[in-house]
Amino acid sequence: MDNHIYEHKVQYYETDQMGVVHHSNYIRWFEEARTDYMEKLGLGYETMEDEGIMSPVLSVDAKYLRMVGFGDTVYVKARIKEYNGIKLTVSYEIISDRTNQVHCKGETKHCFITTKGKPLSLKTASSQFHEMFLKGLQKDKEENE
C-alpha cells in the first residue's frame, strides 16, 4: 500500500446522534496519518522524542466537504507540503472507500523544539530527521507534478 495512505474504520464513538462523524475526529485522523507516515519514512515520533526533539502543532486547517458516517472506512493521504528545517507543513486528504471522493482536506503546521521549549533547527539538531523530511518533501513534490 502507498506510504502516504493511512486506513481508518469509523467507530461509533466518533459520530454524533445523526451517525455522522464529529468534526473534531478529522483532526485526530490527521495526527494518526502523520504519525503513520513518519514511521513509514523510517523514523517516528517516538524516536524523535527519544532524541529530545518535540514537534508541536502550530496550526490546523480543515475543510469539510462531505459527511462520513459510522462504519465507513476512510483513507487519509498525508504528504509533506513544506519543510525548511525549522517548520514542517503536512497536507491531508480524507477519502471514503464508499464514495471514493475526498470528504475532507486539511493541513497542519509544525515547528521543532527541545524538551525545554527552545526552538531548534533539524538541520543541526538531527541530520537523520532533517534528511528524512527533505527526502519525503522531494518525493511528494515529484508525485504531485
Under 8 Å between Cβ of 94 and 112: no
Average pLDDT (67-85) is 95
Q: Which of 16, 61, 72, 140 is catalytic?
A: 16
Residue 59 has pLDDT above 50, yes or no: yes
Say whether 61 is catalytic: no
Query: What pTM, to 2 d.p., does this model score?
Result: 0.92
Which pLDDT does position 1 carry in this prediction?
Answer: 44
Whole-number pLDDT of residue 141: 84
- The pLDDT score that the predictor gives to residue 91 is 96
> Is the pLDDT score of 144 beyond 80?
no
Per-residue pLDDT, 4: 83
CB burial class (10 A; 0-12, 13-18, 19+) of residue 61? middle
Average pLDDT of the chain is 93
pLDDT attached to residue 139: 87
